[in-house]
Structure 1
């Protein structure tokens, strides 16, 4: 049986210096930097930035063309103002606007941007979930 968890998300990037600068402009501070890779601590897990070619080699697929895939990374906020502020900060750091924050069909508020490598981030306020003071998320058990 495999544990239900994610410990590390690694994003393949075409230009590590550009990606590092983008996340620095968001206010993120690396916890570990090694040749060709940067890691950020994120409340019990980590995010890594890794050059595309070295990542393909590390996966055992040297020469493979890696894309961004069909996935979204998300940050939840305790209120709409937090979503708006984070969205504005991302655009100021060089993100590409995909969808401005707005009310959504499921009763929340969210918007999307892409980082310089096309990795899609959702910024959301879900009134049915709790964002704790330390940034962790509590999803209530179904009734």
Structure 2
């Protein structure tokens, strides 16, 4: 039997947000996502990859019973990432987004995991990374076991 995560791809990333309107503005105006669906307390967007969705914390809590507790400011619980084709593309994206008012933690830097990266947060402190592998590519790849490939 194929393990669950190998049979079903991740199709959506959903961030829980305080204010959907504020977050929709950030993701459309600053990041360039295209709004695909909009409903009370919810929005999702098309981009170049996985669907990004936003769901107001109070709305999901009211209808599903999921906790409505909020993390204090500047506490990150997840990190979304954009893999760019080159370190130069990271620098260019940083300049473009900073020019649109996206506030980064620091300019792009080369890190010990052999990638050029920079980080910013959306209005609800959801953390984002822009990265590209440096020469030599990623470090720490693990070869899949042959038995898993044939299962």
- Into which bin does the TM-score normalised by the smaller protein fall? 0.7 to 0.9
3-state SS of paired residue (1:30) = strand
Match of 2:117 in 1: 110
Which stretch shows the higher mean deviation, 90-99 or 11-20? Answer: 90-99
SS at match of 2:5: coil
CA RMSD of aligned residues (A): 2.5
1:83 shift after superposition: 1.1
Pick from 48, 53, 69: which aligns with 2:53? 48
Per-residue deviation at 1:61?
Answer: 3.1
Answering whether residue 59 of structure 2 is matched by residue 57 of structure 1, we say: no
C-alpha contact 1:13 1:49 (8 A) present in aligned 2: yes
Unaligned runs of 5+ in 2: 145-151
SS of match in other structure, 1:96:
coil
1:21 to 14, 18, 25: 25
Q: CA deviation at 1:46?
A: 1.3
State how far apart, in whole Å, the 1-side matches of 2:142 and 2:11 are: 23
TM-score with structure 1 setting the length: 0.77
For normalisation by structure 2, the TM-score amounts to 0.73
Q: Which runs of 4+ in 1 moved over 6 A?
A: none
Structure with the higher fraction of residues in helix conformation: 2
Inter-partner Cα distance in structure 1 for 2:19 and 2:110: 34
The answer as to 2:70 corresponding to 1:66 is: yes
Query: Would you tell me which structure has more strand in proportion to its own residues?
Result: 1
Task: Please give the residue correspondences for 1:121-140 in structure 2 after superposition, counting only pairs within 5 Å.
Answer: 121-127=128-134, 128=137
Q: What is the aligned residue count? A: 132
Q: Which runs of 5+ in 1 are unaligned?
A: 130-139
Corresponding residue SS for 1:100: coil
Distance of aligned partners of 1:57 and 1:93 in 2 relative to their CA distance in 1, 3 Å threshold: farther
Q: Which of structures 1 and 2 has the bigger CA Rg? A: 2
